């Protein structure tokens, strides 16, 4: 199977999970989705990631995003592991963990990299929009925990730039100034779209306050 790329339709699947059978596209509905994989259950880095994602669950919900994890271990293993996660990370995991024992999801999303491991999934993240298009892909090695604050930040950027003719600059965070799309040159259009005004640093680099605030 070809490697998934930005803009591809996220492959649909049906798979068992810690919360029962999941039909992926049906599960997402009209929401954004964050699908993220783990090498195995009862591993230390994964435990911290799943716990922190649970802590952030309200933030994802505010953005209309559903999170779903995947590991190649079985449903009962996931259920037992969740008890450990909740205890050690002082949280309450409510989102599903896919029990991908047959590696169906791992194969569809190219989560197994033979150079790293022939059986375990790498730490992949796929952000999927309500049209089921893949909008962001991250892949980390098994030894490096992901920054889920960055995933939230990227989700904020995607949602903002979908609705306004802007891009977000380096290290941008919610509430900070953004960049006007270089394709907009008509002064009347600029005035209409950006009533708060803008600062022209260069003709191609124009800064304006975040337009939805």
Nearest residue to 63 via CA among 142, 141, 158, 169: 158
Which of the residues 46, 68, 72, 155 is marked catalytic? 46
Residue 55's CB: how many other CB atoms inside 10 A?
Answer: 15
Active site residue 41: no
Any idea which residues carry the catalytic annotation? 46
């Amino acid at each position: 199977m070809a490697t998934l790329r930005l803009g591809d339709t996220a492959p649909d699947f049906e798979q068992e999970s810690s919360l029962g059978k999941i039909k992926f596209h049906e599960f997402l509905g009209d929401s954004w989705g964050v699908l993220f994989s783990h090498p195995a259950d009862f591993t230390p880095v994964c435990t911290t990631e799943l716990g922190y994602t649970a802590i952030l669950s309200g933030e994802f919900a505010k953005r209309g995003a559903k999170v779903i994890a995947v590991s190649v271990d079985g449903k009962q293993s996931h259920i037992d592991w969740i008890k450990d996660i909740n205890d050690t990370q002082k949280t309450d995991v409510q989102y599903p963990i896919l029990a991908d024992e047959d590696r169906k999801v791992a194969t569809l999303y190219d989560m197994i990299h033979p150079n790293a491991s022939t059986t375990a999934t790498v730490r992949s993240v796929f952000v999927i929009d309500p049209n089921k298009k893949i909008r962001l892909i991250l892949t980390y090695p098994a030894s490096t925990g992901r920054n889920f604050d960055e995933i939230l930040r990227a989700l904020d950027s995607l949602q903002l730039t979908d609705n306004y003719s802007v891009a977000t600059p380096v290290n941008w965070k919610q509430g900070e100034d953004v960049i006007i799309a270089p394709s907009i040159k008509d002064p009347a259009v600029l005035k209409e779209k950006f009533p708060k005004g803008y600062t022209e640093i260069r003709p191609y680099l124009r800064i304006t306050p975040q337009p939805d605030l």
